[in-house]
Structure 1
């Protein structure tokens, strides 16, 4: 399925009155990257880039991820993968929520401050959605996969 992320981004940017340079500065990415995305030269950006753009435009991240094709939409709801039967409560805990809510998290014995948690969340979000996208492509192209 072809996703028209570039025109979508351009429309959002123009609706909010941003120039390419203004959006690039607000998002902390290059103006040439914004231009390449909008013109379809670059294609769909990585989730971490989408996060920066969504924050700069004050657009819900999930909406942009849907438009980019990272999230499948069915009957206007995001399809969520069920946790396996063997998963315990701790297995099901939302790691993103834990990073946002927990005060005393540590890594290798060092307490994480809010900036550390935000960086970890951003990196994990990007990796998570990239892996989901690769799995989706792999399943589509797998000749052994049965419907």
Structure 2
């Protein structure tokens, strides 16, 4: 998967006429990191890094997550997997809540759009990292 994503990123970068350094500067990451990703030496980037690359290239975050293998390997659980006692409010998608324009607060402080995006990026990264770690664990016999 690392090699495939690296090839994809290189093709994307070149199609947009960007050098490694131009993409790195636009994404706020190092040129060596871009180079290692493209050459398959670094592995698949974390979701937070993919968000930066998406913003820099104008490619959707979901498309990059898909090419990186995060969305292909891990399907979301069906709604029926929620416990019986869960109300419809309990089943709300936290991502949608962060994307809504309604007011959200943390510790009594209202969150602006930038705060919500940061929280969403961090939670997305942690969620998919945990999914990958759980997938690698060998079942106990």
TM-score tier by shorter-chain length is 0.7 to 0.9
> Does the CA contact (< 8 Å) of 2:2 and 2:44 recur in 1?
no
Distance 1:3 1:89 in 2: 42
Residue in 1 that maps onto 2:96: 97
User: 1:105, 1:111 within 8 Å by CA — same for their partners in 2?
Assistant: yes
Aligned: 1:112 with 2:108: no
| TM-score normalised by structure 2 residue count | 0.87
Which residue of the partner structure matches residue 135 of structure 1? 134
- The CA RMSD measured in Å over matched residues stands at 1.9
Q: TM-score, normalised by structure 1?
A: 0.83
Alignment check: 8 A CA contact 1:24 1:31 kept: yes
Q: Distance in 2 between matches of 1:66 and 1:38?
A: 16
The question of whether the paired residues in 2 share the 8 Å contact of 1:70 and 1:132 is answered with no
**Residue correspondence of structure 1 range 48-127 to structure 2 within 5 A:** 48-72=48-72, 79-83=75-79, 84-86=82-84, 87-127=86-126
Q: Which moved more, 1:55-64 or 1:118-127?
A: 55-64
Match of 2:13 in 1: 13
| Cα deviation digits, residues 97-120 of structure 1 (max 9, x gap) | 111214321111111122211111
CA contact (8 A) 1:3 1:68 kept: no
Q: Distance in 2 between matches of 1:70 and 1:95?
A: 18
**Deviation of residue 46 (structure 1)?**
0.6
